[in-house]
Structure 1
Amino acid sequence: MSADGYDARADFLIEAREILDRLGEQVVALEQDPGDRPTLDAVFRGFHTIKGGAGFLDLPPMVALCHAFEDRIDAARSGTRELDAAAFDGAQRAVDLLLDMLDALGRGEDLGEVDAALLRQVRGGDAPAAAPAPAALDLPDNLDDLDFDALLDSLHGEGAIPGAAPAPAPVAAPPPPRPAAPAKPAAAEKPAPAATETEQTVRVDVRRLDALVNLVGELVLARNRLKTLRPGVHDENLDRAVTALDTVTARLQGAVMSARMQPVSRVFTRFPKLARDVARQLKKQVELVVEGGETELDRNLVEALADPLVHLVRNAIDHGIEMPDARRAAGKPEQGTVRLTAQQEGDHVAIEVSDDGGGIDPEAIRRSAIRKGLIDTEAAARLGEDECLSLLFLPGFSTRTEVSDLSGRGVGMDVVQSKIRELSGQVQIQSDLGKGSRFIIRVPLTLAILPTLLVELDDDVYALPLVRVIEVVTHDDSEVLWMDGQKILDLRERPLPVLSLREWLGLGDGRTTEATRGVVLQAGEQRFCLLVDRVVGREEVVIKALPRSLRGLPGYAGASLVGDGRMALILDVDALLESAQRGSSANARSR
């Protein structure tokens, strides 16, 4: 790092990872249509940009690998040599190795040497050897903007934009290039922003953004508190000031949150390469369709969704899509389709992984769960099809009879659900036997501020995530019945399990009133009714860490301060339902 705080290596790591994520997708698109000239140029620019940055940082192995593929892709651009299957395999291996090199660079480790066989594969076997890596640049301790611009000129040419393709060298009597096929919109690279646009952007350390979010959260809490402290006597000036503060706070909150928003394409770009690798390993024909990549989420959520989506996409290919001969026998095209889509739904985002494979058999799930001792026969018999599908999320559940090197439909699904719960989201499964399956993830746009429904028990206040609230009901105690060891509320001829918040907290049955408030909540495919004393109303809360005494206890997702200054515990709806189900099983056994 230079004396003025600029860290060229850190910037290179960020930019190179973004480029490699795009390259994985672009190479797959190019393999499907080798004549797509815009994608061909985009792949060349990607490797060329990484090579320039690696040369600047004196990383010869990375330079050699990028240069080798530059030679191969340049031959394809000039029409002297077509790209073949070996070239595409080599390109994907090169992307993987470059990612490993970036990981090593981030840890401060040596990059090692590039395998000569890989260089030959990337270069095409008999192409000329790669040019030697540029020598290390002797940089001053203080690198100002003019020095850095001069350095970029030395790497990319005077006035050139980093990452832009260099002017092709003259070739004696070159053969005419093949006519380019129509470009695919999904594969074509977006045009580079104008210079004035680029000058108006700046990289900001995420820790600074997190600090801003925390400060805005404190401001929201202060605003909520001030709104509850208005004097009983009407004061027009105070009302006007509080209203202005409310408006400015809301705008500031929106501006800061938007600064942390990122498109989910940052995660989606890595999946075409993943789908290609898994399909080739399994000898299946699979097309991955990606839609809605422009949908934006809080950056923390974007990164946290990567692992759950990897599980779901792998499962869709491994155990959703059938082998080509099986699809042909079923009257389907040999090539299966997996769709990865995202769209905003109010203050939440829905991300869906679907396939047109064989679907999931609920009866097979029921039998497997009984056989593994995950559920008893009587309880399993009462489950509907949707509830059977939910058994996939039980730890250790799988319908597979053989071990897979990748993942089984059910293997790792408990991890998926646990991760999504940590993000205050939920997962739903829909399946049509013989036609395919859909896994739908819903997560909030941000985890910093959460819309909730506040409820009270005695003098304590609790917060329920508003997205899980279906309705608020009032009923008599006589309308709550016992059925198979479980309290049931008959709500418009739909029986709902009942959980008393007072009993769940270990406070006993409490007082009996003629009418009781209940909140109908959604947990996955199931609904249940949570009994409370009072419903306060809706309020946006700022999520804070739990007090030390409550950390690790199931049923609590966080804490916050509400407008009147009291601390509200944010309840985990999924954990509440599991608690109700465990209580039901225990009551049934005792009876």
Structure 2
Amino acid sequence: MINAEYLDVFLDESQEHLQAINDNLLRLEQDPTDLSIVGEVFRSAHTLKGMAATMGFEDLAHLTHNMENVLDLIRNQKLEAASTVLDVVFMAVDDLEAMVTDISSGGEGKRDVREIVSQLESIEKGESVAVSEATLSSSQKPSNNSLQEQYDDFEATVLEQSMEQGYSTYQIKVSLDENAMLKAARVFMVFDVLEQVGEVIKSTPTAEDLEAEQFDEHFLVTLVSKIDGEEIKQRILKVSEITEVVVQEFDIASISTKVEEKPIAVPVVDDGNVTEKVESQAKEIEPKKTKSVQTEMNKTIRVNIERLDVLMNLFEELVIDRGRLEQIASELKNNELNETVERMSRISGDLQEIILNMRMMPVEQVFNRFPRMVRNLSKDLNKKVRLEIIGAETELDRTIIDEIGDPLVHLLRNSIDHGIETPDKRLAAGKSEEGTILLKAYHSGNNVFIEIEDDGAGIDREKVLQKAISNGVVTEEESAKLTDQQVFGLLFASGFSTAEKITDVSGRGVGLDVVRNTFESLGGVVTVNSELGKGSVFSIQLPLTLSIIDVMLVEVKEEKYAIPLSSIIETAIVNKSEVYSVHNQKVIDFRGKVVPLVFLKDIFEVPGEHSEEEFYSLVIVHKGDKVAGLVVDSLIGQHDIVLKSLGNYLKEVFAISGATILGNGQVALIVDTNALIK
């Protein structure tokens, strides 16, 4: 049984080395003559091979060894780093990633890599390599080893009894579109189909992991059924966003119910030297590397993210109690108590900053997967595209990092498919044949901005308008009054698409509305700027964290509401005589702009008498370029508050995004200004 402590270190470092290999191979493709890059790739592959051999993952070590041989030829200038050669190396890296993923989910890292090893060996022998379609898709096919997956005694007994009763046993591999926005929903639909034709015995990953979307693009299901395998396949393929289904029948007799446990020897470090090594390949691990890793481990501690979540929840309770103490101290007017509370507030403020920083992660974690995606997609579309990344070290809260990956993938694919032109069209327009996409992240105040800018064809304003009118999104009368910014905003309308034809990349009429909704659910805002023929910029504004936020507390009758400061332009007091009615909507002329008023007492049906004051207290809020004035009874002031969910029971409450507990124990609801402006 592999020691879990060593396994965690192995997985973390393997993923780092694979990411380094990916990044450096992309650099090498841009500059094939730079042998220093080959050296970087070779070192990462060499270390990965040694670690895999030491841990006993022989398939992983074997494939890395073959890849290392090809890299060695390139390093010694015996082989040119041509695109066809790198295509095969990239596919080998994909297989390595799949094996590491299998190990992380509890597997043994087994995989049928004969096809890709054969390709690598052909390159070693100097034979011309033509990457066949079969090879390209080999990484999507389940290996024999994955089909001979280990089952526990109960599962094996069920399978044996099913076979005796005339049922067939199928191992089904289902692959989702890599850009599927709602993976868990697709999995549910697949399981619904399977339960109609038979009984699901096992899934890999587990049902819980599938529901939590903790898997890549494919998953395995063991099914017993009396229906033909081809018919099962066709039924599954009817589920949208399923790209491939492999159904394989196998004999229950070939399954072993016992997992053979082999003792694994691990390196023992004594005074910086490895005193015991397993396998001949393990001897190749450099002592200097081992020592540097050991030193690095002394400086850092790996902490389970769930522990940080618990720490954050405890601190949130502390923030609530801090607010209560501050209120009590101000009421009692005791100097010693005031001084103590002020000191506690400063210390807890520093503690808050440390805890929030511990939860921060660089957006690099998301950005790292985009260069490979852009490379593959540009090849599929016969376009030349260069991706430039700026500000990858910019940090965001982990909860936000987890959510932004898929929407950013969709925006990037949109830029490559709709934005960047083909080389001949770019040359005809006087541009270089290679298009550029700039992916940029930066801090500004309490927000992080992510921008995706391309130098492509830009957005055709008239084409968007005509499509919007034909789809009934706007009328012709309304369209004449729209600004450029408002027209580009129509791209985010539900079901809107300007694609001439449906492709695997985009043009399904689904996507940008989901992208906008995802960012807005995180408290973000998406805007678009474009110039026809010059290019487009999609800009996303996101809050640094979702847990503790700055708000303006306001009062409406006897109730208190919190309005996020990130949505507020300013506060104001206006005379009722300055309020006008336009189309049954009360508005004011505020700094030369017509601003509609939203009365919170009406929206939330707050009981109480109407105010006889001659003035309205307003909070001017915005969503993109749209502005509204929220009418309240009084402004209390700015506060740090802990955002608490209303739970599943109250998840559909209009214009309320959560709640917080104030210092006096009263609950204040947090206003969703985006919903009000809509």
User: Same fold judged by TM-score > 0.5?
Assistant: yes
After superposition, give the CA deviation of every residue in 1:35-94 in whole Å (9 maximum; x if it has no partner). Answer: 223322221233233333333443333222222211111111122222221221112222
Could you tell me how far apart the structure 2 residues matched to 1:314 and 1:122 are?
31
Could you tell me how far apart the structure 2 residues matched to 1:342 and 1:390 are?
22
Task: Number of aligned residue pairs: give it.
Answer: 542
Paired amino acid for 1:82: E
1:576 is aligned to 2:676? yes
**Which of residues 524, 532, 545 in structure 1 aligns to 2:624?**
524
TM-superposed deviation, 1:468: 1.2
TM-superposed deviation, 1:144: 8.2
Residues 93 and 145 of structure 1: CA distance in aligned 2, closer, same or farther (over 3 Å)? same
1:32 is aligned to 2:131? no
Tell me, what secondary structure is at the counterpart of 1:305?
helix
TM-superposed deviation, 1:547: 4.8
Could you tell me how far apart the structure 2 residues matched to 1:401 and 1:572 are?
36
Is the 2:273–2:287 Cα contact (8 Å) retained in structure 1?
A: no
Alignment-derived partner of residue 90 in structure 2? 92
- More displaced 10-residue stretch of structure 1: 331-340 or 302-311: 302-311
Alignment-derived partner of residue 666 in structure 2? 566
After superposition, give the CA deviation of every residue in 1:313-368 in whole Å (9 maximum; x if it has no partner). Answer: 11111111111111111111111110001111111111111101111123322221
1:80 is aligned to 2:78? yes
Alignment-derived partner of residue 643 in structure 2? 543
1:381 is aligned to 2:480? yes
Alignment-derived partner of residue 417 in structure 1? 516
Is the 1:486–1:497 Cα contact (8 Å) retained in structure 2?
A: yes
**Which of residues 160, 166, 172 in structure 1 aligns to 2:287?**
160
Alignment-derived partner of residue 297 in structure 1? 396
Paired amino acid for 2:60: M
Alignment-derived partner of residue 442 in structure 1? 541
Residues 149 and 438 of structure 1: CA distance in aligned 2, closer, same or farther (over 3 Å)? farther
Alignment-derived partner of residue 323 in structure 1? 422
TM-superposed deviation, 1:300: 2.4
Question: What is the aligned-residue RMSD (CA, Å)?
Answer: 2.9
TM-superposed deviation, 1:484: 4.0
Is the 1:46–1:163 Cα contact (8 Å) retained in structure 2?
A: no
Could you tell me how far apart the structure 1 residues matched to 2:276 and 2:593 are?
68
Is the 1:392–1:410 Cα contact (8 Å) retained in structure 2?
A: no
TM-superposed deviation, 1:118: 1.9
Could you tell me how far apart the structure 1 residues matched to 2:418 and 2:575 are?
48
**Which of residues 300, 306, 315 in structure 2 aligns to 1:207?**
306
- More displaced 10-residue stretch of structure 1: 150-159 or 434-443: 150-159
Could you tell me how far apart the structure 2 residues matched to 1:490 and 1:163 are?
69
TM-superposed deviation, 1:122: 3.5
Residues 483 and 91 of structure 1: CA distance in aligned 2, closer, same or farther (over 3 Å)? farther
TM-superposed deviation, 1:397: 0.8
Tell me, what secondary structure is at the counterpart of 2:554?
strand
Alignment-derived partner of residue 169 in structure 2? none
* Unmatched tracts of structure 1, length 5 or more: 130-134, 165-192, 579-591
Is the 1:400–1:408 Cα contact (8 Å) retained in structure 2?
A: yes
State the identity %.
Answer: 35
Residues 525 and 148 of structure 1: CA distance in aligned 2, closer, same or farther (over 3 Å)? farther
Q: How does 1:391-402 map to 2 (within 5 A)?
A: 391-402=490-501
Alignment-derived partner of residue 68 in structure 2? 70
Could you tell me how far apart the structure 1 residues matched to 2:108 and 2:297 are?
33
Is the 2:500–2:507 Cα contact (8 Å) retained in structure 1?
A: no
Could you tell me how far apart the structure 2 residues matched to 1:18 and 1:289 are?
21
TM-superposed deviation, 1:231: 5.2
Tell me, what secondary structure is at the counterpart of 1:204?
coil
After superposition, give the CA deviation of every residue in 1:226-256 in whole Å (9 maximum; x if it has no partner). Answer: 1111154542221221111011101111112
Is the 2:597–2:630 Cα contact (8 Å) retained in structure 1?
A: yes
Q: How does 1:486-497 map to 2 (within 5 A)?
A: 486-497=585-596
Tell me, what secondary structure is at the counterpart of 1:283?
coil
Could you tell me how far apart the structure 1 residues matched to 2:413 and 2:430 are?
24
Is the 2:392–2:440 Cα contact (8 Å) retained in structure 1?
A: yes
Alignment-derived partner of residue 366 in structure 1? 465
Alignment-derived partner of residue 151 in structure 2? none
Tell me, what secondary structure is at the counterpart of 2:123?
coil
- More displaced 10-residue stretch of structure 1: 402-411 or 273-282: 402-411
Alignment-derived partner of residue 274 in structure 1? 373
Is the 2:272–2:290 Cα contact (8 Å) retained in structure 1?
A: no
Q: How does 1:114-263 map to 2 (within 5 A)?
A: 114-127=112-125, 138-139=263-264, 150=274, 155=282, 157=284, 160-162=287-289, 196-230=295-329, 232=331, 234-263=333-362
Could you tell me how far apart the structure 2 residues matched to 1:38 and 1:163 are?
23
TM-superposed deviation, 1:162: 4.8
Is the 1:502–1:510 Cα contact (8 Å) retained in structure 2?
A: no
Could you tell me how far apart the structure 1 residues matched to 2:94 and 2:109 are?
13
Paired amino acid for 2:417: D
Paired amino acid for 2:493: L
Could you tell me how far apart the structure 2 residues matched to 1:212 and 1:151 are?
40
Paired amino acid for 2:92: A
Paired amino acid for 1:139: I
Alignment-derived partner of residue 44 in structure 1? 42
Is the 2:268–2:275 Cα contact (8 Å) retained in structure 1?
A: no
Could you tell me how far apart the structure 2 residues matched to 1:158 and 1:313 are?
39
Residues 32 and 163 of structure 1: CA distance in aligned 2, closer, same or farther (over 3 Å)? farther
Q: Which has the higher contact order (CA 8 A, sep 6+)?
A: 1
Is the 1:56–1:136 Cα contact (8 Å) retained in structure 2?
A: no
1:460 is aligned to 2:559? yes
Could you tell me how far apart the structure 1 residues matched to 2:336 and 2:559 are?
33
Could you tell me how far apart the structure 1 residues matched to 2:290 and 2:267 are?
21
After superposition, give the CA deviation of every residue in 1:469-493 in whole Å (9 maximum; x if it has no partner). Answer: 1011222334333334543322122
- More displaced 10-residue stretch of structure 1: 235-244 or 341-350: 235-244
Tell me, what secondary structure is at the counterpart of 1:229?
helix
Could you tell me how far apart the structure 2 residues matched to 1:311 and 1:151 are?
50
After superposition, give the CA deviation of every residue in 1:242-283 in whole Å (9 maximum; x if it has no partner). Answer: 111011101111112211222111221211111111111111
After superposition, give the CA deviation of every residue in 1:531-557 in whole Å (9 maximum; x if it has no partner). Answer: 222221111111111155522323222
Residues 112 and 234 of structure 1: CA distance in aligned 2, closer, same or farther (over 3 Å)? closer
Tell me, what secondary structure is at the counterpart of 1:352?
strand
After superposition, give the CA deviation of every residue in 1:265-309 in whole Å (9 maximum; x if it has no partner). Answer: 122121111111111111111111101111111222223221111
Paired amino acid for 1:32: Q
Paired amino acid for 1:457: V
Q: What is the TM-score normalised by the length of structure 1?
A: 0.84
* Unmatched tracts of structure 2, length 5 or more: 128-259
Tell me, what secondary structure is at the counterpart of 1:125?
helix
Residues 195 and 63 of structure 1: CA distance in aligned 2, closer, same or farther (over 3 Å)? closer
Could you tell me how far apart the structure 2 residues matched to 1:492 and 1:267 are?
41
Tell me, what secondary structure is at the counterpart of 1:339?
strand
Paired amino acid for 1:17: Q
Could you tell me how far apart the structure 2 residues matched to 1:482 and 1:206 are?
53
Could you tell me how far apart the structure 2 residues matched to 1:380 and 1:322 are?
28
Residues 215 and 317 of structure 1: CA distance in aligned 2, closer, same or farther (over 3 Å)? same
After superposition, give the CA deviation of every residue in 1:195-243 in whole Å (9 maximum; x if it has no partner). Answer: 6454211111111111111112211221111111115454222122111
TM-superposed deviation, 1:2: 6.8
Alignment-derived partner of residue 198 in structure 2? none
Residues 473 and 149 of structure 1: CA distance in aligned 2, closer, same or farther (over 3 Å)? farther
Residues 13 and 453 of structure 1: CA distance in aligned 2, closer, same or farther (over 3 Å)? same
Is the 2:267–2:277 Cα contact (8 Å) retained in structure 1?
A: no
Alignment-derived partner of residue 15 in structure 1? 13
Find runs of 4+ consecutive structure 1 residues off by over 6 angstroms.
142-149
Is the 2:553–2:562 Cα contact (8 Å) retained in structure 1?
A: yes
Is the 2:492–2:513 Cα contact (8 Å) retained in structure 1?
A: yes
Q: What is the TM-score normalised by the length of structure 2?
A: 0.74
Tell me, what secondary structure is at the counterpart of 1:289?
strand
